[in-house]
């Protein structure tokens, strides 16, 4: 099925560092969503992007909907221990589509 290529698969950083992860696809996406999942929990929506070129912030998090509509990135500034978790990108392929296509996830580990 349709895949989103999410990278990196894992990151090991020091507390206070900035983080960047991205998702790419060969297909055009209508919506990009970024979720964070803690162990044993469901994904929590961080940022939703609905227009090409859209740049949205949520506290220390910033995400952008790529102009080509085939990619999106998520940046985290000044990382803190509670940022640890798995980050998933997801999106819908066509307008009105309900199903989400998910990336494989980026596992973020922070050394204090």
Which x/- pattern, by CB under 8 A, does the window 37-76 give for another protein? ---xxxxxx--x-x--------------------------
Q: Looking at beta carbons only, is 77 or 92 nearer to another protein?
A: 92
Nearest approach, Cβ of residue 74 and another protein (Å): 16
Q: Within its chain, how far is the Cα of 72 from the centroid?
A: 7
Give burial (CB, 10 Å; 0-12/13-18/19+) of 21: buried
Of 35, 52, 18, nearest to 103 by C-alpha is 35
111, two tokens: 């050394």
Query: Under rule CB under 8 A, which residues in 5-44 are in contact with another protein?
Result: 30-31, 33, 35, 40-44
Q: Which residues bind another protein (CB under 8 A)?
A: 30-31, 33, 35, 40-45, 48, 50, 88, 90, 92, 95-100, 102-105
């Amino acid at each position: 099925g349709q895949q989103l290529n999410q990278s990196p698969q894992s990151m090991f950083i020091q507390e206070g560092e900035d983080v960047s992860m991205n998702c790419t696809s060969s297909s055009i996406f209508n919506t990009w969503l970024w979720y964070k999942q803690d162990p044993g929990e469901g994904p929590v929506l961080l940022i939703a992007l609905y227009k090409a070129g859209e740049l949205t912030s949520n506290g220390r998090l910033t995400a952008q909907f790529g102009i080509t509509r085939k990619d999106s990135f998520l940046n985290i500034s000044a990382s803190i221990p509670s940022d640890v978790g798995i980050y998933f990108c997801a999106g819908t392929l066509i307008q009105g589509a309900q199903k989400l296509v998910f990336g494989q996830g980026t596992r973020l580990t922070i050394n204090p």
